[in-house]
Structure formats: C-alpha cells, structure tokens
C-alpha cells in the first residue's frame, strides 16, 4: 500500500515491491482535492463519541448483571448475545429508514448511536467476564463500609476491570474508525462525511487513480498505527489479563 502510494501512475502496477524514484504527488493530489481536516474531525467526533457511549453502557450493564445481579438482567444479556450473530448488511436498510424518520441523516448521532448499539453487546461480553472473575470480598467490604451502589461501581468495579475497559476502548475505536458501509448510507453530504468515504472517488471499474487511492488509505491507516504504537502494551494486557489464574 505504501509502495503504490509513492509511485507515478505509469508504474502503479509494476510487479516489484518498491519503485525508484519515489514521488509524493499522490499525497499532494489527495490533500488538494479533499478537505481532509474536516473529514478527520468528523471521524474523530463519531469515533470518540461511540467509544464513550459503549464504555458507559456496557460497563453499567455488566455491573448490574455480574455484581448487583438484578432480576432479568441475565435474560437481557442472553438476548443481547443473539445480536452478535446479526450481520450489519442485513439491518442497513431498516436502520436508514429509521434514521430518516428521526431526522438523523447527515448528523453525528446518526452514526454514533448505531455504532454504539452494534458495539455494546461485544463490550458487555468482555467486561462482564472480567467482573465475574473479580473478588466478591471487595464488593462486600465496600457495602459494609457504607458505599452506595454508584460509589461501588466507580471506585471498586471500574478499577478492577480497567484492562478490559482499555481493550474495549481500543477495539471499538479501530472498528468505528474503519467502518464504511453504514457511513456511506447515512452521510450523504460533504459536510458530514467521514474520512473512510474519500477512497471511493479514486476507485472505480478501471481503477482511475490507484496511486491516490493508496495514498488516502495510508493517511487513513496512519492514526490507527500511531494509536496502537502508544497503547499496544495496554491492549495486550487487556487480552491476557485473567487468562492465567492462581
């Protein structure tokens, strides 16, 4: 991808890993043709908003199910698990009709809430598993000390599942940032487009501008690469935490 983005158009499909001399004309074209800062801002607002909604909703539900053990929460948990089997493509049309009814087409909430709804079930599975393995003695001691339900959630439950929260946040950030299909349907004007919609204008039946296409793909991937470089330690810790008991 990086190699093709640095090639002139006449050498885009040469069967070699790298071509000399390299050119940055493809990146100049992409930056000149598109308001990338606006598109990046839209993607960032939608992604961060989705991550926050997922973390709050999933951790609260996992707490109610695993620690408080409220009535019928396990039934709701089972129902939520079934949504993991529903492909996104099957709900795009009814979802678009619903968003149009609400007047949420070309709006941030038109993507944030559907993304959050799709991400919450998976996040609940991860966070609940961590809460199930948390020592019950800590919660009982907090209740004896007079902690309210909210205080126990904020000061006991959340610190115990911090690795899971970090893992869910990173995973949801990557999934939301890269999502294309739903964004294509909901964001129809240029003011609200996300950055993942930009490559469409450089690809077609005959690959109109492969160098520019790969250049914008590099630009889209760069924030995720930088993010993972900074948080990979926490991401791996979230994956491995709780894997070994004793």
Per-residue pLDDT, 209? 83
What do you get for the CA distance between the two ends of the chain, in Å? 45
**What's the whole-model pTM score?**
0.87
Report yes or no on 127 lying in a domain. Answer: yes
Domain interval for residue 171: 37-186+222-240
Torsion of CA 62, 119, 168, 140, to 10 degrees: 0
**How many domains, in total, are found in the chain?**
1
- CA 109/CA 222 separation, integer angstroms: 25
Report yes or no on 246 lying in a domain. Answer: no
- Cβ neighbors of 204 (< 8 A, separation 6 or more) are none
Report yes or no on 60 lying in a domain. Answer: yes
228: domain CATH number is 1.10.3720.10
- CA 71/CA 49 separation, integer angstroms: 30
Residue 146 Ramachandran class (φ > 0 left, ψ -120 to 50 alpha, else beta): left
Per-residue pLDDT, 214? 92
Per-residue pLDDT, 245? 46
The residues of the chain scoring below 70 in pLDDT are 204-207, 234-235, 237-246
Angle, helices 109-132 vs 162-178, to 10°: value is 150
Q: Angle at CA 69, nearest 5°, toward 65 and 73?
A: 50
Report yes or no on 119 lying in a domain. Answer: yes
Report yes or no on 66 lying in a domain. Answer: yes
Report yes or no on 13 lying in a domain. Answer: no
- CA 156/CA 26 separation, integer angstroms: 51
Per-residue pLDDT, 244? 45
Decide if 188 contacts 106 (C-beta within 8 A).
Answer: yes
Report yes or no on 28 lying in a domain. Answer: no
Q: Angle at CA 76, nearest 5°, toward 173 and 91?
A: 55
Report yes or no on 29 lying in a domain. Answer: no
pLDDT tens for residues 122-143?
999 999 988 988 888 888 888 8
């Amino acid at each position: 991808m990086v190699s093709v983005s640095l090639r002139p158009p006449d050498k885009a499909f040469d069967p070699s890993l790298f071509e000399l001399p390299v050119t940055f004309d493809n990146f100049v074209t992409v930056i000149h043709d598109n308001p990338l800062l606006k598109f990046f801002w839209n993607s960032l607002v939608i992604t961060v908003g989705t991550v926050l909604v997922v973390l709050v909703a999933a951790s609260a539900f996992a707490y109610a199910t695993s620690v408080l053990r409220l009535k019928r929460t396990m039934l709701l948990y089972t129902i939520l698990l079934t949504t993991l089997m529903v492909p996104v493509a099957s709900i795009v049309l009814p979802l678009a009709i619903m968003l149009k009814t609400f007047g949420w087409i070309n709006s941030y909430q038109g993507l944030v809430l559907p993304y959050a709804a799709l991400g919450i079930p998976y996040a609940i599975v991860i966070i609940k598993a961590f809460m199930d393995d948390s020592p019950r003695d800590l919660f009982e001691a907090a209740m004896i000390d007079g902690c309210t339900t909210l205080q126990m959630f904020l000061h006991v439950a959340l610190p115990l599942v911090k690795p899971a929260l970090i893992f869910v946040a990173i995973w949801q950030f990557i999934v939301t940032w890269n999502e294309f299909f739903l964004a294509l349907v909901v964001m129809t004007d240029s003011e609200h487009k996300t950055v993942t919609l930009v490559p469409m204008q450089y690809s077609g039946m005959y690959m109109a501008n492969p160098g520019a296409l790969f250049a914008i793909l590099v630009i889209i991937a760069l924030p995720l690469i930088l993010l993972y470089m900074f948080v990979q330690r926490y991401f791996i810790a979230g994956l491995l935490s709780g894997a070994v008991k004793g």
